[in-house]
A and B are shown apart, each in its own frame.
Chain A
C-alpha cells in the first residue's frame, strides 16, 4: 500500500486550486507531475554544475559529465540493461522510435519484408513504421484488436498467422494510452525471436508504472519518455541491445559522436555517443536519474498495484453512469491506470471543459490514436489516467462532475 498522502506532499503542483476547486489531476497519461526532488535537481544543476559534457577539463565540466553519465548508469539500472552504453538519451519516445525506424529500418528493410505493428499503437509507434515501409518497400501489417469496444486485447490467433519469417521487426506498445490494455510483451518478444524479428517496445505508458527488465524480456529496442515518469519534458531514452547498436549507423551526425574527422570522412564513436550528436540535454537527463531514484524508493510494483486498484474503482464507479461507453478491457479485467469512455450525446470536449470547472484535469480527443478511434466508430473519448498520487476520493470528484455534466446536457 502506498502512503498517498505522504507522496502528495512531494508534489508541489498538486497543492493548488483550479477554478476555485482543489486540483484533481487525472491527465497522467499525457504527462505526470514532478516531485520536488526532480525540480530541485534541475535548480541545483543550473545553480552549481552547469557546463558542457565530455569536452571540458575544468571542474564544472567534470561534475556535469559525471552527473550526466551517472544518470545514464541510473537509467540502465532502472530497466536492468546489461550495459550503460545501451542507454541513449533522446527527446522522448517519439524521437527514440524514429531513430530505430530510420537507422535500423534503412539498413535492414527491403521489399518483401514485413513490418509488424498493432492496431492500438500511438501515432508515434505507427507513422515512423509507415514511413520506413514506404521508403524501403516493405509491407506494413497490423495485429488486430478484438471486440467492438477493443475490450478483447490484441488477437493472438491472428498474431500466429502474421508472425512469419518475413517479419523483420515487430513494434508494439506495452500499455495502450487509449485503452489501458496491458500487452503480454514477454510473450511477444519470445514469439518475435522465434521468427528472427527484432522487437521495438513502446514503454511510454508503462515505464514509470511497473517494473521493467529488458534482459528478462530479451527486448531489442525500448523507447520511453521522462515526462511520463515524474521526470522533465524533453528527455527520454532509447534502449538498444549492444550487439544491435554497434552495427547501427547514426541517424544524426555532428559534434560529440565522432572519433576521427577529416575533410573527406568521419568515424563514429561507439554507442551511446554515436547516437547523441551535439550537446545533449544534460540537466534533464540528470533529473531523470533522480526520478528513477524517486520511483524506485517507492517501488514500481507498489505503483502498479495502486494504479490497478484505482483503475478497478474507477471502472466500477464510471459504469454506473447512464449511457457511458467504456472502451478497453471490461470491468474486472486487467487494465492499466486509466479509463477511456464516451457518451452518445455529450462530446468529450464539453465533458473536459465542465470537469475543468470542477478542478478536474482530463484529456478529451483521439489520444494520438486516430485509426483506432475510426475502427471503434468514435471521434474521440474522454480519458482519466492515474498515477501514484491519485486517490479514490479524486475519482469520486470525477464521477460527481460527470453526473453534473450529463444532467446539464439533459441526458439523464
Chain B
C-alpha cells in the first residue's frame, strides 16, 4: 500500500468507521440537519440537543449524534466530529471546523488538535475532501437553524 493511502486510512479513521461513536438518532434532539453529497450519494444527519445558557452566553451542545451512510472517510469524520464538538458553542464549533478544514486541505496539522490530525492524509485525495467535511457541514447547519424548524427531520430524500 502506498504511503498516501496509509496516510488516508489512519488507524483512528478505521476505528471510527468500524465502531462509530454517537451513532443513531437522538430522541432528545432539538436540532437536526441533513447533509448530502449528491455526486457520491453520501448522507449524514446530525442531531443536537442545544442547552440554552442562563447567563446570556451562547448555548452549548449538550448531546449530539449522527446517522447516515457513506465511505469510511465520511463516516469516521462524522463520528470523530461528534466527540470533538460536544459541550461547545456554535462559534467554538466553527473555529474548530476552520482548523479541520485547514488540515484536510493543506495536510498541515497543529499539534494541539491531535485526533483531527488523523485526517491530514485527505489532502492528497482532493476528491475526498467533501467526504471528510460532510458531517461538519451538517453540524454547523444544525447549529444555525431555528429550533422549531429543525426538530423534525427536514430532509425529504
Contact = CB atoms under 8 A, between A and B. Distances in A.
Interface of A: 19-20, 346-350, 353-354, 357, 364-366, 370, 373, 379-380, 408-410
Nearest to A352: B71
Given A347-B69, A350-B73, 18 more contacts: A19-B2, A20-B2, A348-B71, A349-B40, A349-B42, A349-B70, A349-B131, A350-B72, A353-B71, A357-B5, A365-B39, A370-B41, A379-B41, A379-B43, A379-B70, A380-B41, A408-B1, A410-B18
Contacts of B131: 349
A336 to B, nearest CB: 23
Interface string B117-157: 00000000100100100000000000000000000000000
B72 A409 contact: yes
Nearest first, the 7 closest Cβ-Cβ pairs linking A and B are A349-B71, A347-B71, A366-B41, A379-B41, A380-B41, A379-B69, A350-B72
Interface of B: 1-2, 5, 8-9, 14, 18, 39-43, 69-73, 75, 125, 128, 131
B70 A353 contact: no
A379 B42 contact: yes
Contact of A408 (B9, B39, B73): B9
A353 B41 contact: no
A353 B128 contact: yes
Contacts, number: 49
For the residues of B in contact with A, the DSSP-based class is: mixed
A354 B72 contact: no
Contacts of A349: 40, 42, 70-71, 73, 128, 131
Given A349-B71, A357-B1, A379-B70, A365 B40 contact: yes
5 contacts: A347-B72, A348-B71, A349-B131, A364-B40, A365-B41
A340 to B, nearest CB: 14
A364 B131 CA distance: 14
A358 to B, nearest CB: 10
B150 to A, nearest CB: 23
Contacts of A364: 40
A348 B70 CA distance: 8
